[in-house]
Structure 1
Amino acid sequence: MFTKLKIVSIFCLISFAAFAQEITPAKQFWNTLQTHCGKAYEGALELPKEDKDFGGKTLTMHVRKCSETEMKIPFFVGDDKSRTWILTYKNDRITLKHDHRHEDGSEDKINFYGGTTTNTGKADIQVFSTDEKTQQMIPGAATNVWWITIDETTFTYNLRRLGTDRVFRVVMDITKPIKTPEAPWGWKE
């Protein structure tokens, strides 16, 4: 026969098990992005409206390499295949790094900059503040804040340099996968 104490104990164990299995916003974000592994999409520059490097060019992202803890997302600007966003998931935090390569595959002198989330964020947005290594490498980027959003229709990559007019926003349409592009510069097939 169950006593009140046994019933309460069973209820507490069930509640604890349900709580332990709860998925954090960072993990939800990660899982959503993982559903796009192997797919490529096109998008457009939203901000700044006039940009000599990105404006009017075909923008393509390819969620190319995925594992439990890392995703590599090449980002092409027209024929320029120099950029890859690298996301790493560890201890319920996500790190964003930027890998920049020259056409011959060699690393750019400004490479692997970015930041790590300071909390679990939200399921549809993760925010990355500049890390110390980036501040040392690019002193002007000390106030950079990047954020990535994802929902049913769009993926956005955003940059804001606090205290300045510097703002950057790319919006990718993730409802229409496109043909998988070639490898970015420096990658082996």
Structure 2
Amino acid sequence: MYLQNMKKLFFLLLLSMSTIGYAQEKSAARQFWENLKKHCGKSYEGSISAGAGNDDFSNKKLTMHVRSCEENTIRIPFFVGENKSRTWVLTFANDRISLKHDHRHEDGSEDKVTQYGGTSTNAGLPEIQFFPADQQTSSLLPNASTNVWWITLDKDLFSYNLRRIGSDRLFTVKFDLSKTIDTPSAPWGWKD
């Protein structure tokens, strides 16, 4: 009887150790998500490092505000000067992250070009996630069918990037995470 109980105890111990080890392992997507959530409520100033020829962005203050962090949704308004029409919406489901672009008019109504983006095809890395254009994007913006967006994130830097495969189109904006700035007012369509 003693030997039988010891075998059961040993088996349960091994089982619990393997379960604990499994529970402690987090996927790269989960690590990225948790690291991004650490910035909730904070705002940062950015600068264009590629694609600077875009007149809509030239000589304007670029601000990101990790404004809303729910369990599976993070909303990051991205302001270009006084234009508060853009919000990056990230969602986490099934160990994949999706990126959508929510565009609004000043009155809060949706722009006709909104909710485009894509979903990661794998868990990525803790410091980078890729989002190839999805079918909704392809239907809404046929020229964007070959778009790939990616976000990099480490302790000092957040970058938002866009590359249109098969073209020269590249856009990168980098935000210095070592320096927070004052929280801006609400983006268009939001209430403080």
Is the pair's TM-score, using the shorter chain for normalization, greater than 0.5? yes
One-letter identity of the residue aligned with 1:160: R
Work out whether 1:11 is the aligned partner of 2:25.
no
Q: 1:56 to 1:9 in 2, by over 3 A?
A: same
Pick from 35, 48, 63 the counterpart of residue 51 of structure 2: 48
Work out whether 1:184 is the aligned partner of 2:187.
yes
Count of aligned pairs = 189
Pick from 166, 172, 175 the counterpart of residue 172 of structure 1: 175
Deviation at 1:116, TM superposition (A): 0.5
RMSD: 1.6
Work out whether 1:132 is the aligned partner of 2:129.
no
Counting only pairs closer than 5 Å after superposition, residues 4-153 of structure 1 correspond to structure 2 as 7=10, 10-153=13-156
Pick which of 42-51 and 81-90 moved more: 42-51
| Percentage of identical aligned residues | 54
Deviation at 1:9, TM superposition (A): 6.3
Pick from 156, 159, 174 the counterpart of residue 156 of structure 1: 159
CA distance in structure 2 between the aligned counterparts of 1:175 and 1:115, rounded to whole angstroms: 28
CA distance in structure 1 between the aligned counterparts of 2:59 and 2:3, rounded to whole angstroms: 71
Deviation at 1:12, TM superposition (A): 4.9
SS in 1 for 2:13: helix
Pick which of 16-25 and 167-176 moved more: 16-25
CA distance in structure 2 between the aligned counterparts of 1:64 and 1:16, rounded to whole angstroms: 35
TM-score, length-scaled by structure 1: 0.94
One-letter identity of the residue aligned with 1:97: K
- Point out where structure 1 has 5 or more consecutive residues left out of the alignment: none
CA distance in structure 1 between the aligned counterparts of 2:162 and 2:184, rounded to whole angstroms: 25
CA distance in structure 2 between the aligned counterparts of 1:78 and 1:177, rounded to whole angstroms: 17
SS in 2 for 1:172: strand
One-letter identity of the residue aligned with 2:172: R
CA distance in structure 1 between the aligned counterparts of 2:38 and 2:191, rounded to whole angstroms: 24
CA distance in structure 2 between the aligned counterparts of 1:98 and 1:31, rounded to whole angstroms: 21
